[in-house]
């Protein structure tokens, strides 16, 4: 499906999908075509359902099946302009798990242990602003407004711009990094090739190497810092709608899941046992 792949790739770029999403959708379309060994133009709804059934029987998890289906849906609905083929094919039910969150002490341990000034500064900036690691890597010098105490996240997820706060600790870390690295620009964290920025995968690899030596009981990725940012703000009393804006969430429902992992909020809820007759008096004695 060489020509069709090129057309699908062009459609994904035209609709401004993230690079990671483009790769995933194209991979899903290729796997679907490879399974049936036929061009997608010659297949229909039945072949799609059969492929999804094959994935489930082969042990694929619901998240992978959902991702593959998303690629197939884009292929038919947009690139082939045959939305009726995928209409009504339901999404697999994905278990909703709570995000992993580090305590402030654990965040400090992780950041202090990261070798290399550049990846350590990127991770600190990501935690301090709530930016996705890809957004932090793509920061430009012009995005840092120290006078107003703001950082501009340019074309984040969904192609949207937003502003986040520039805390004193983040600003000091960025100034220390700037004096030591003197990045030539335009990116604050340049990549190996001129005109490119550091990749999220490079930072993830550095973090992964660091975590091997820390032996934390929790499974940690760079995105864990974003979850921790939101939870720590919530525990500090920040309004959840402010957190929604800082994270760039379209729906408040996405942000509301952090209320389920905020230990401080949960701990302050009164147990119904303590409200039973006689229990309140017993606690006061």
Strands (E), the chain: 144-145, 150-153, 162-165
Catalytic, 258? Answer yes
Catalytic, 249? Answer yes
Q: Which listed residue (76, 127, 187, 258) is catalytic?
A: 258
Tracing tokens 């012009």 back to the chain, one arrives at 142
Q: Which listed residue (157, 163, 257, 265) is catalytic?
A: 157
Exposure string for 240-255, b = 16+ CB within 10 A, e = fewer: eeebbebbbbeeeeeb
Pairing of strands 144-145, 150-153: antiparallel
Q: Nearest CA to 4 among 24, 29, 32, 28? A: 29
Residue 108 structure tokens: 């400090």
Catalytic, 132? Answer yes
Catalytic, 187? Answer no
Tell me how many degrees the CA angle 199-221-225 measures, rounded to the nearest 5: 95
Q: Which listed residue (7, 66, 109, 223) is catalytic?
A: 223
**Plot region of 145 (φ>0 → left; ψ -120 to 50 → alpha; else → beta):** beta
Angle between helices 62-74 and 19-36 (to 10 degrees): 90
Q: Nearest CA to 40 among 12, 73, 88, 89? A: 73
Contact by Cβ (8 Å): 25, 8: yes
Q: Which listed residue (68, 162, 226, 232) is catalytic?
A: 226
Q: Rg of the chain's alpha carbons, rounded to an integer?
A: 23
Q: Which listed residue (68, 132, 227, 232) is catalytic?
A: 132
Catalytic, 66? Answer no
Report the C-alpha gap between 65 and 69 in whole angstroms: 6
Catalytic, 182? Answer no
Q: Which listed residue (23, 45, 82, 249) is catalytic?
A: 249
Contact by Cβ (8 Å): 152, 161: yes
Residues annotated as part of the active site: 132, 157, 223, 226, 249, 258
């Amino acid at each position: 499906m060489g020509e069709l792949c090129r057309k699908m790739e062009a459609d994904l770029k035209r609709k401004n999908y993230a690079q990671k999403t483009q790769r995933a959708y194209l991979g899903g379309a290729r796997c679907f075509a490879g399974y049936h060994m036929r061009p997608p133009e010659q297949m229909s709804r039945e072949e799609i359902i059969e492929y999804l059934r094959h994935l489930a029987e082969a042990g694929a998890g619901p998240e992978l099946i959902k991702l593959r289906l998303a690629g197939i849906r884009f292929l038919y609905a947009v690139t082939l302009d045959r939305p009726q083929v995928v209409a009504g094919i339901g999404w697999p039910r994905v278990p909703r798990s709570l995000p992993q969150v580090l305590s402030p002490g654990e965040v400090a341990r992780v950041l202090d242990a990261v070798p290399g000034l550049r990846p350590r500064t990127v991770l600190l900036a990501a935690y301090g602003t709530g930016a996705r690691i890809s957004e932090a890597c793509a920061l430009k010098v012009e995005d840092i407004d120290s006078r107003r105490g703001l950082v501009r996240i340019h074309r984040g997820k969904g192609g949207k711009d937003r502003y986040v706060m520039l805390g004193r600790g983040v600003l000091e870390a960025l100034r220390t990094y700037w004096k030591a690295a003197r990045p030539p620009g335009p990116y604050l964290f340049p990549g190996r090739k001129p005109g490119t920025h550091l990749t999220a995968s490079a930072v993830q690899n550095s973090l992964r190497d660091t975590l091997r030596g820390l032996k934390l009981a929790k499974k940690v990725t760079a995105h864990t810092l974003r979850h921790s940012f939101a939870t720590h703000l919530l525990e500090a009393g920040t309004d959840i709608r402010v957190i929604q804006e800082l994270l760039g969430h379209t729906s408040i429902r996405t942000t509301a899941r952090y209320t389920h992992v905020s230990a401080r909020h949960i701990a302050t809820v009164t147990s119904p046992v303590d409200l039973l007759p006689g229990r309140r008096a017993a606690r006061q004695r």
